[in-house]
Chain A
Amino acid sequence: GKTRRNFLNQLKATVGKGPLNEEAVMEIEALLLQADVGIEATDYIVETLQAKMREEALPLESAIAYLKEIVREILERPFQEKNTPITFAPEQDKLNIWLITGVNGAGKTTTIGKLAHLGQKSDYTCLIAAADTFRAAAVEQVKAWGDRANTEVVANPGKNTDPAAVVYDAISKAQSKGTELLLVDTAGRLQNKKNLMEELGKIRKVIDKKAPDANIESLLVIDASLGQNGLRQAEAFTEVARLSGVVLTKLDGSSKGGVALAISKQLNLPIRFIGAGEGIEDLRPFSSYEFAEALLSE
């Protein structure tokens, strides 16, 4: 739209003449801020671009390409520093446990359903632990996803039962059946709720203790329409659930999910998957290229 066009015009007027002028900087700031990138990460990106523009007189195309490069670099750094592969898959013939966490309504349960489907399609033996024992009909919801994905769900029929106990049972079952991928659905919790965060910490401990040899991934589900609170979420969940990555959902909307960029930069967490719809197939591996293109398009 308009913002991008203004930005391009500003760039055209200023490229090749040293650093960007104030108006051009404002346009690019607006583009980033409106995508929820946040002030801090936006400042960093603008300053990095400016430094480059001061160094060499870049033509328009190169300036834009460089901007995308800055964004991609932020997104790729966590992969490099943690030395994790870009393609993300459970290890075969071994128990992999993926703990799925996040605030209320982010898309955890739906992501579990999509992941189970993906796992089944890729010939992993999968199991789901229904560890949201709190929300109304949470178990029914995850069971419906289990049916769709053809995956067994371990649940406790009681009300408000201990979620850590469900996880314990599910791990036992996975171990005895030789399951390769155990997906753990947890209740939504806001990161400032002390008790609920402790409960999550307990779930993580049960996993670590009961399955010391398993590959454990701890993924935070982040809604793309979130604002800067997403950063606080990532901070708090990192501590309690020892996060290893992020799933960015609802990217089929018009939100760009810029807070994920801020999270990637500030907390060094790789983004693993993209949720782009409510259907079972609507999950994709993350691509920094696509993300940068979408972020900097109108």
Chain B
Amino acid sequence: MFDALSESLESAWKKLRGQDKITANNIKPALQEVRRSLLSADVNLQVVKNFIADVEKAAQGADVISGVRPDQQFIKIVNDELVKVMGESNVPLAEADTPPTIILMAGLQGTGKTTATAKLALHLRKQERSALMVGTDVYRPAAIDQLKTLGEQIEVPVFEMGTEANPVEVAQKGIEKAQAEGINTVIIDTAGRLQIDQDMMEELISIKNAVSPHEVLLVVDAMTGQEAASLTATFHEQVGVTGAILTKLDGDTRGGAALSVRQVSGQPIKFIGVGEKVEALQPFYPERMASRILGMGDVVSLVEKAQEEI
């Protein structure tokens, strides 16, 4: 699936072959290839720059392991750095000490918020956590119908007040209902909004202030390009995100947006969406994402084996 990326990286490693040390000089072409690869994978340009600087530092300090070629070792260094940046291990969903746990969904138009709301509710139900979904998207035609249809599919109740209501009030009333009924977790679906739409961002801030969520999840389409960095920055600055969901990873995108989202927000990616169906939600694993972006998993495990043997 990621042939082009592997190939371009390999051509970089070839330039290192036959040299038994990684030096400031011989690393340059390889770094250049990593740069091109990451850009082709849609990692944000600024994020790439920072990342390359980190790799350069890490590589020059590295001891060459016997039985491993420098080029292979370099792949391992890039991979490790990528995993490190992406967050070391899988981070679960927040759970409040006193229910209900409140989760607020946010993101651009069409990224998969409403679908992810249902996916999360089903995920919670499987953990015996009851859920209530709250429909505050009063703008998009049939947005509430969509949430209700999904609610019926997964047998999770939906709270809504129609399309004439104020989204902030709907969110508040939804929480009250959950409290009254002893529901464990409330997931608030919101309308899609551009980060440069000041009015809509204000609305989201108002919802947040009204309900004090334990989790604000930024839903990002994995196919997003350079914009991933600036949208994350703005949502994080203005609303404060606690985590992200990366959707549509069942496609063949390399998903470089993952790196941008993680780097810019400093918050973990908690789940990935891997299909249109309500079951298609998985926890996020940084190692898997790194190897997806690099497409060099085999070499990485080879080096790991060599390291173990020492």
> Interface readout for A194-235 with B: 1 if CB under 8 Å, 0 if not?
000000000000000000000000000001011111101000
Among candidates B45, B139, B253, residue contacting A33 with C-beta atoms closer than 8 Å: B45
Among candidates A30, A113, A190, A253, residue contacting B45 with C-beta atoms closer than 8 Å: A30
For residue B146, which residues in chain A have a CB less than 8 angstroms away from its CB? 135-137, 140-141
Among candidates B39, B108, B250, residue contacting A253 with C-beta atoms closer than 8 Å: B108
A117 at the interface (CB under 8 A from B): no
For residue B164, which residues in chain A have a CB less than 8 angstroms away from its CB? none
Q: Are A227 and B257 in contact (CB under 8 A)?
A: yes
Total CB contacts across the A-B interface at under 8 A: 127
B92 at the interface (CB under 8 A from A): no
In the assembled complex, how far is the CB of residue B110 from the closest CB belonging to chain A, in whole angstroms? 3
The CA of A39 and the CA of B221, in the complex, are separated in Å by 21
The CA of A35 and the CA of B226, in the complex, are separated in Å by 7
In the assembled complex, how far is the CB of residue B230 from the closest CB belonging to chain A, in whole angstroms? 7
Q: Are A229 and B142 in contact (CB under 8 A)?
A: no
A266 at the interface (CB under 8 A from B): no
Q: Are A105 and B112 in contact (CB under 8 A)?
A: yes
Q: Are A278 and B140 in contact (CB under 8 A)?
A: yes
The CA of A75 and the CA of B253, in the complex, are separated in Å by 25
A281 at the interface (CB under 8 A from B): no
Q: Are A140 and B142 in contact (CB under 8 A)?
A: yes
For residue A293, which residues in chain B have a CB less than 8 angstroms away from its CB? none
Interface size for B (C-beta < 8 A) is 43
The CA of A188 and the CA of B139, in the complex, are separated in Å by 20
Q: A33-B45, A278-B109 are in contact. Are A255 and B227 (CB under 8 A)?
A: yes
The CA of A243 and the CA of B41, in the complex, are separated in Å by 25
Q: Are B141 and A144 in contact (CB under 8 A)?
A: yes
B58 at the interface (CB under 8 A from A): no
In the assembled complex, how far is the CB of residue A251 from the closest CB belonging to chain B, in whole angstroms? 11
Q: A136-B153, A141-B142, A278-B140 are in contact. Are A225 and B224 (CB under 8 A)?
A: yes
Q: Are B256 and A227 in contact (CB under 8 A)?
A: yes
A171 at the interface (CB under 8 A from B): no
Most buried by A among B111, B150, B226, B250: B226
For residue B148, which residues in chain A have a CB less than 8 angstroms away from its CB? 137
The CA of A232 and the CA of B39, in the complex, are separated in Å by 16
The residue in chain A whose Cβ has the minimal distance to the Cβ of B230 is A254
Most buried by B among A106, A188, A229, A232: A229
Q: Are B112 and A228 in contact (CB under 8 A)?
A: no
Q: Are B110 and A105 in contact (CB under 8 A)?
A: yes
Q: Are B110 and A228 in contact (CB under 8 A)?
A: no
The CA of A38 and the CA of B40, in the complex, are separated in Å by 7
The residue in chain B whose Cβ has the minimal distance to the Cβ of A143 is B142
In the assembled complex, how far is the CB of residue B216 from the closest CB belonging to chain A, in whole angstroms? 20
> Interface readout for A134-149 with B: 1 if CB under 8 Å, 0 if not?
1111001101110010
Q: Are A192 and B110 in contact (CB under 8 A)?
A: no
Q: Are B248 and A39 in contact (CB under 8 A)?
A: no
B62 at the interface (CB under 8 A from A): no
Instruction: Identify the 9 closest CB pairs spanning chains A and B, nearest first.
Output: A227-B225, A105-B110, A227-B42, A144-B141, A137-B146, A141-B142, A140-B142, A36-B225, A137-B145
List 6 contacting pairs A-B, 8 Å CB cutoff, sorted by A: A140-B141, A141-B140, A141-B146, A225-B221, A226-B225, A250-B110
Apart from A136-B145, A258-B225, list 8 A-B contacts with CB within 8 A: A103-B251, A105-B248, A106-B110, A135-B146, A136-B153, A226-B225, A250-B109, A278-B109
